[in-house]
Structure 1
Amino acid sequence: MAALRWLLAAGLAVFLLAVAGTASAQLSEQQKDYYQDWLKTADRAEDAVKAGRASDAALEKLRSQVDTYRTRFDTVRSGNSERIKTLKSQLDALGAKPDDGSEEPEDIATLRDHLQTQLDALRVPRIISEEAYNRANGLINEIDRIIRLRQTREFTSRGPSPLNPDLWPAAGADVKQALGGLWNEIAANLKTDVVHVQFRDHYPAIIFLTAFGLLLIARGRVWSERMGAYLRTLKGGGRRVWAFVVSLSRIFLPWLGVVLLASAVSTTNVVGLRGQFLLDQVPNWAAIFFVFDWIGRQLLVLRDEDQRPLLSRVRMAELRVVIDLLAVMLILNDLLAAFNQIENVSDATRAVVGFPVIFLSALVLLRLQRLGPMRDMGVATESDEVVQHSGLSRFFLQVRRLLIVLGLLSVVAAALGYMHAAEGVIFPAIKTLALISIILIVQRFLGNLYGWLAGTGDAGRESLFSVIAGFVLAIGSLPILALIWGARSTDLLEALSRARQGVTLGGVQISPGSFVTFAAVFAIGYMVTRLLQGGLRTSLLPKTKLDAGGQNAIVAGTGYVGIALAAVVAVTSAGINLSSLAIVAGALSVGIGFGLQTIVSNFVSGIILLIERPISKGDWIDVNGQMGYVRDISVRSTRIETFDRTDVIVPNSDLISQSVTNYTRGNTVGRVIVPVGVAYGTDTRKVETILDEIANAHPMVLANPAPSIVFQGFGADSLDFEIRAILRDVNWVLSVKSDMNHEINRRFIEESIEIPFAQRDLWLRNPEALSQQKGSASQSAPTVPQPVSAKPMDLTEADMDGDGDGDY
């Protein structure tokens, strides 16, 4: 072992440089002493772990010392990373040494040796610190394991039952002796000259602290109530916010009075060692009582704020008393713990004295449950209507019921002698109920604050912000909850240290710091991209000659490129090396390619649409029988607004692979065709002249090329003509067509030109068959009138000649 120590110490020269940051001989000696101290501390910790006889306090102190060394070694083992990377890249640039036995050029060999020496010098401290770090980490884990094992044994240990009457006399004697010792100590101090001199020298400060403390205790809460009542009478949502802030003074002012009064008593030196130990706990006990009283007060405020009363005035007053009694139970438990530390009483006395406190605490919890669940805080209405809960409130309600059940079970455990288990359940349950109440009260305050600042009033309590605030408060309370239920602060610090180191996924080290860096850099890049898009869309591009489609393509392309660059920069800034995931990513890409080939096809088609621009935003197109205007082109689909104001989402691959009619591609010039028919015998030249005048007279029709009138031919019922004209804006084609039809109708009426409609002449081959059928039908008709079918006869299917073949 000694040889190993000196071997490690021999390599400390460079290690000391890395730790101390200097090459002076004096600092090197200091760092040698530092490392030797670490070896001694590690050996002492290993001996304590092997023996297992050290107290919890001694183990905690030893753990703190080892943790200090571990933190230092962790810093050193991760140092000089960039320099080592640079030296490795320089050595790689020199290439490998010749393997064929030939000698390397002297300059290159010298440079290689120099670089290798520097690299080894930097690696030595990292290797040594890595070994020391692992050793320290192992010792800390061993110490934590021993302490947790002791806590578990203590929690499950069974002592004498407090219900055994034989133990009561001895317990009463121990309590009497403790109180008598405290009183005798105070009485003895009052007779000493030290107390008299202390009071004579400091009586102005003692009188001031006493008077001011009593004033704050007596009037501080009254002042706070008056200010809170005044603020609640103010109009506007801010009154509740300020009332909540003022309500905190109900805790601070009386608590400050208790602190001043305890300081005054401590200054007199009238209390002895026992009294001073109890006096130091008085501010903590006062804080417990005032916080619980504040919780009950906030429930009354909630009753006044809600639309319907949560509880009646009488039951609300009872609820506040119950909450104050819970605070008293916690204070009594702490007092008994202090009593046990001062007198070091037996387990029997501890069980007998502590059982009444546990029993009364369970009764108070049971009464709290019978008062009914509160809305938001757990209250039922006066009509005993069960209020529906959801989300965080529902979860907290179930937790509250579970804690009350555990509190009742702790009475049984205490009666059987499991005092540590009973105390470790019922009092943390009370503290947990207080923590849940504080979380919900603070959440309500944040909702009121948001409603006041946002101008939404009471709606702020039901907003998304209030839900998110409640979730954040719940997550943030987890460390406090862990401490309440027996976790050590060192356990939380250890968990935080491990979280900072992160986890390794596929060879990639991901830590909270790298994740926060990634999120922050990406968020900044995303915001910069959106700002750039907004500037292009509103300021720069409108001043160019690009059409709306081109502007939309540039804005969209800028967004995709900006987000991609933001992701790359964020990954680089976070120090995440994705090269180790290349093989996994390659395998996944094959599966993704097969499973998401349609989405990938649409994505590529969207990029083609933005670059090639066969269609643009605002174009009038016809695809798959859907006609309308292009309103938005994204990477996966295109949104078309039809003429009946409905949106049709068309995959981009359909716009690339299928035929698309674009009526406004490049320009809005388009043609309108207006068909019209006139009766046979009409002067066709006259009709042509009228139609030409109508076409040229419309303001949307271009003069060049001039409109044309086409005599299509001889139809079955009419002479068919068409007006074919080029419009300035084809988007008005329906309006132009309607205008021309109105004008054609007016002019044809003036010129007495007939617009024919379809006519048919029906010839019957043998009409006598109808007469015969009519006669036979009249002879066979019943005397009672029968309903006649409203369906007309289909002459094409009638058997007119009576031969049964259906012809006519």
Structure 2
Amino acid sequence: MSLAKVVARRGRLLCALLLALAFNLYAGAALAQATPVATLSRQLSQAETDLAAVDHALDSRVDKDARTALRSKALAARDAAADASGRLQDQLSLVDAQVAQLGPAPAGTPEAPDIRAKRASLSAQHAALDSAVKRGRLLGVTASQLVDEIEQSQAEQFGQRISAHVPSPVSPTFWRAVLRSVPRDLRRVGLFAETGGAQIQTGWRHTLPWQAIVGIVVALLLLIPGRLAAQRVGQRFLVDGAPGHRVRRSGYALWRIVVGTLAPMLAGLALLQGLRWSGLLPDRWGDMFDALVLAMSVSGFTASVGGALLLRRQPSWRVAPIGDEAASRLRPYTLLLAALTFVNIMLDAFNKAVSASNAALVATEALEATLHLLLIGAALLALGRVRAAQTSDTAGETRRAGLAAATLVAWIVAAVAGIALLWGYVGFSLFLVQLVTWSVLLGSSTYLLMVTVDDVATTLFVQDSPLGRTLTRGLGLGGSSIDQFGVLLSGVLRLGLATVAFGMLLSPFGAGDGVGSLFGRLGGLAQGVEVGGVSISPGTILRGVAVLFVGMALVRAFMGWLEGRYLPATALDGSGRNSVSLIARYVGIALAVIWSLASLGIGVEKIALLLSALSVGIGFGLQAITQNFVSGLILLAERPIKIGDLVRVGTDEGDVKRISVRSTEIELADHSTLIVPNSELITKSVLNKTLASPLGRMQIQFSVPIGTDAERVRDIVRELFGVEPAVLDEPAPTVFIDTISDGRIMFNCFAHVASPRAAYSARSAVLMALLARFRDEQIDIGTVPQRLELVPMPGSDVPPIGATPPPHA
């Protein structure tokens, strides 16, 4: 080997060594700042231990509270494993970068000892880190599986609870079981009261329980005078003497809810804490008093939401469009619902505290379902009477379709719940009636929050507000842009609130994932046949119909917001709004249909395949409809014809009233409607008199004898044009001499009006004034006199008419 080759090889090895050392220094600094591998390994070990404990606990039946704690523990372990795995992956990437910098070991040539040692060290680190990363990922998968198992178990227990069947409450078998369990339940209640009473007597003998007395006094002060005083403060600052502002109105409604919820909750906490500090709270009574605080909070929230929504005493500050009579009639039912909620929570807590028998639990559920049914029925009857009275008083007012549909659904659910209760499905009946009341409460609170969000967003982000003026001056934004942002922000926030409320619909009943799991159970009730990988069964069909209904309802709500709120805040004209509205409506309907098909298991690729298979048939069979549809899209996009334009199609002339994707409606002068296919407007000539300019022009032509003073005639015409109010000064009227023929001067006069629709009446008015003025001025504007002369045929003796006869005649 030559000396040059040896030097070159040593030089390459030296450069590689220097680069490796430099990168090693950088990587070492990065690793020094990173979390040590040992710490991350301990984190993975702890996550593995927690997951093993969760897995072991799931081997036996767990209640709702334990299941919730296990789910939280599994989620925490999954997050910890993911965090450790991510940190280890970062360190593994650094090690891989160092290995790549060293490159592969040269074949047949020994490496330097330090390079070889470094390569071995990096290989060992890579193996350890790769194993730890895989371990963390495996723990994440295990945690996800355990969470799915917990949610599935929760859904199964929920399904078992609502599908449990017992003897009918109207049958003797049901009451015999209840009576047989009465002695045992009475002994448990007596033992519960005796144990608690003994502990209370023990605590009372030692000293005066001043803590309990203070707690009771504070609770009463918070519950009655404190709550009323807080409401008066909000009324004084937000209602009395304040201008009628939307934000103040919604803020007062929220203030009533906050006060009505916090006052009972704080009162319950004061009572509970006073009893605990004084030692008068028995150990077995602790859970029941905790439930007391919860019951006071929930019932207070229920009553305050109803009061804020109805506002009987401040009807002018009422947020919802509810009449005074309806508010007065419905208010007692909101208070009854709050009282029933309090009783239900306390009964459930008492049964759990005394370990009541299964018969007592079923009897309690039957009683709760019956009370809910009575309340729902009475409220619906009162609402029906109010609607009937309003309909008779205002005969021309249309009923609200949404309220009627909601009332019908409530009646159907109440009827199903009553049948289920009589049939022995007490849990299912109680679930349905509680779902109705919870839906009313959730919907009312969500509505109030939506109104508040809309009021705040559309009040802050408006061009006339201080914030709007600041944005206009500071950022140069237009007023329309600020208004649009406020409307869009309101829409996004309200959509988020609706999504959260929709997800919370089934959460109080232990239904797992809520709507998703409920639809999953409904789909599993009937196993249908699979056709082309798509399951066809009653469950899937119902799910598809329900999804389509929800999708169309969302499209309708979005279109109402778009047409009523967003588009009026834009600078678009009526035709532009119509174009945007039509395109958004059809896109929304298409998305709703695709969503419905996807819920049936028909993916987008299958939909595309179906459309491609039908495209040939659609092209031939629906050629005219397709042509009009495409032409309608062109009209909406290019807008050569807009709503309100004055157009002439053939011999018909009228105003464009509506443009759809298939045809265009034109209102003629006789108030009839001409429906023109869109393809006619695209492929044929159409006269649009208002496309380029909204101005109209009228033309007047007449002639005067050649001896008439032409300048005088011109001045008269100009004067009459100036007198007519419909004639515009700009562009100015013009008077021309068109020609001189047959001893007469031909005048051609033009004037502009504000609209082509005003040209005819203005032209008639000017002609009437012109005739009267020329008659006063003795100016002849008649036609050229015509002379008829009959010329005889050659050789005929008949003289022409008007000729002098010969003398011999």
Structure 1 length-normalised TM: 0.50
Structure 2 length-normalised TM: 0.50
